[in-house]
Amino acid sequence: MSLETSETIPVKAYSYLRCSTPEQMQGDTFRRQLALAEAYAAKRGWELDKTLKLHDMGVSAFRGRNAVEGTLGAFLEHVRSSEVPSGSILLIESLDRLSRQEIDEALWLFLDIIRSGVTIVTLLDEMEYSREALKGPMGSVSLIVSLFILSRAHEESATKARRLKEAWSDKRRKAVESNVPLTGIIPAWLRLSSGREKVELIPERAFIVERIFQETLSGLGQHQIASRLNAEGVEPWGRGAYWHRSYIAKILTNDAVIGTMTPHTLDYVDGKRTRTPQDPIKGYYPAAISEELWLDVQAMKQGKVARRRGRHASKPVSHMLARLAACPVCGGSMSRVNKGARSRPSLVCARARTKAGCTYKSVRIDQLEEAIVERLPERLWDAPAGERSSELDKQVVNLEAELERVVRELENVERAIREGGEARTLVRMMRELEGEYEEARDTLRRLEAQRAEVAGLTVQSRIERLMGTLEPQEGDPLDVRGINAAMLTVFKRVTVDYQHGVLDFEWLHGGSVELPYALPLDLA
């Protein structure tokens, strides 16, 4: 059915132009679509509207973004508000410019436009789709044709997406098998070799990475490390004008420093693009630091009672129990106080100090430190094997069994789809199972990392480091900051039980050890 042009009021036509990729924007796609629209409007005597720029450049129609976030969605709003008059024409190169979604979603969009009184004209085949046309004798044929075109558009996009996913899977396989770089986007302390066949360290930057970890382990805060780098004139990496605390924090949490790369896939969850982490590839990058140093810093970060921030963040550690000391009454942190030249520095419950409750009781720091140096080394030999280790082992075994179950169910669903089962229901089941698999896999990674942190050899090496700080070489002074940093990798907190005259050290990997430092209050 053709459209007749009014002699007095010309029919208004709107040209909708869309391309999916930036490459198409730079090419001939935009010019070709516009030329087709202008030529056809002139041929039919329609007035081509220039006020609404219906241009979705670099916007995909596969997920319907153009109808939700793009100018096509804005056009539909103008139609509903009658700013675009009923009887207007929407010119598009072909129906696949309108939508590449699954057929049910694409058909709803197609019919929604037509029901609003707008006629869709496809320029390549000069087909016209309107309410009148679909009601006419050839209406069913036109509808079948539109269904076929929309279905084919979705299948083409789905095939392209599947092939792209397979290509990335193949690249990932090659990365694992032959260490071929998966992507040119790499951390700032690395570079691609001249032939782009491998990733290599930038020596001077790798040195900075190791320095950041070593200084963190020695007790320096992120702000202080950044300030030192800026003061020394060390050139920042990337686009930053200077070193930021946030960038130091990013480096300290990026396991690429020990050579691990975690690829991601882009998935759509509830219509939103979501980056989903895949299985990490260990040894993909050259390591900038040792795994032992990495685990020590992660343990230190987890073991802290509180991070040093604000105006005291850059001050040196003043006593061995900094960020570890806890009140025996309320369980809160204890802070250092010094009331003048005649007094000795002491620890006091932070809550009591600010008059927020609890008991104000000061404990001399020199007494505590003397007991730590004299009596803690002998108790370090009795470190528990790790109460959490066996429990973590059980959780890991259970999760591995859960993953096996989900994989079996996924295989059953895939088999049912191939045998012609109810596609929509089976696809929904598959998505739910894939969600369960990803959640269980991510949890398993976390548990394995925790289990690595409580492993005997790792804990033993940290204890030995602490022993070394408590027993310096003859003639060397005690390194208070080094002792504090070493204890943060071994202990979760230390309760200063002044009522019983003991220090209660809680191990990061479970259990505790008591250390007397004074007589109980009732005997003193």
- Name the helix (H) or strand (E) containing 48: strand 47-48
CB-based contacts of 54, cutoff 8 Å, min separation 6: 14, 15, 16, 17, 71, 72, 74, 75
Question: What is the structure's pLDDT at 201?
Answer: 92
CA distance 130 to 114: 6
Question: What is the structure's pLDDT at 124?
Answer: 79
> Contact, 484 vs 317, CB < 8 A?
yes
Question: What is the structure's pLDDT at 403?
Answer: 73
Per-residue burial over 467-476, b = 16 or more CB atoms within 10 Å of its CB, e = otherwise: eebbeeeeee
> Contact, 49 vs 58, CB < 8 A?
no
DSSP 353-374: HTTSSS----EEHHHHHHHHHH
What are the distances in angstroms from CA 443 to CA 256, 273, 347, 388?
A: 20, 22, 39, 16
Residue 173: alpha-carbon gap to chain centroid: 22
Beta bridge partners of 96: none
- Name the helix (H) or strand (E) containing 242: none
> Tokens at residue 192, please?
């691609």
DSSP H helical ranges for 454-476: 456-470
Per-residue burial over 347-386, b = 16 or more CB atoms within 10 Å of its CB, e = otherwise: bbbbbbeeeeebeebbbebeebbebbbeebeeebeebeeb
SS3 509: coil
Question: What is the structure's pLDDT at 459?
Answer: 74
CA distance 260 to 266: 20
Q: Which residues of the chain have pLDDT under 50?
A: 1-2, 5-6, 22, 25, 62, 64, 66, 304-314, 387-388
Tell me the torsion sign for CA atoms 133, 136, 138, 139.
Answer: positive
Question: What is the structure's pLDDT at 37?
Answer: 86
Asked whether the whole model's pTM tops 0.85, one would answer no
Between CA 405 and CA 407, with CA 406 as vertex, the angle to 5 degrees is 90
Q: What is the CB-side half-sphere exposure of residue 73 using CA atoms within 13 A? A: 9
SS3 50: coil
The amino acid occupying position 1 is M
List the end-to-end C-alpha distance of the chain, in Å, as a whole number. Answer: 105
What are the distances in angstroms from CA 311 to CA 221, 252, 289?
A: 12, 22, 30
CB-based contacts of 128, cutoff 8 Å, min separation 6: 1, 2, 3, 119, 120, 121
Question: What is the structure's pLDDT at 313?
Answer: 45
CB-based contacts of 210, cutoff 8 Å, min separation 6: 288, 289, 293
CA distance 290 to 451: 18
The residue whose two tokens read 């001249």 is 194
Beta-strand pair 346-349/363-364: antiparallel
Instruction: Encode 309-351 in three state secondary structure.
Output: CHHHCCCCCCCCCCCCEECCCCCCEEEEECCCCCCCCEEEEHH
> Tokens at residue 309, please?
């921030």
Tell me the torsion sign for CA atoms 34, 36, 39, 42.
Answer: negative
CA distance 283 to 274: 26
Question: What is the structure's pLDDT at 209?
Answer: 93
Beta-strand pair 264-269/272-277: antiparallel
> Contact, 218 vs 208, CB < 8 A?
no
> Contact, 227 vs 218, CB < 8 A?
no
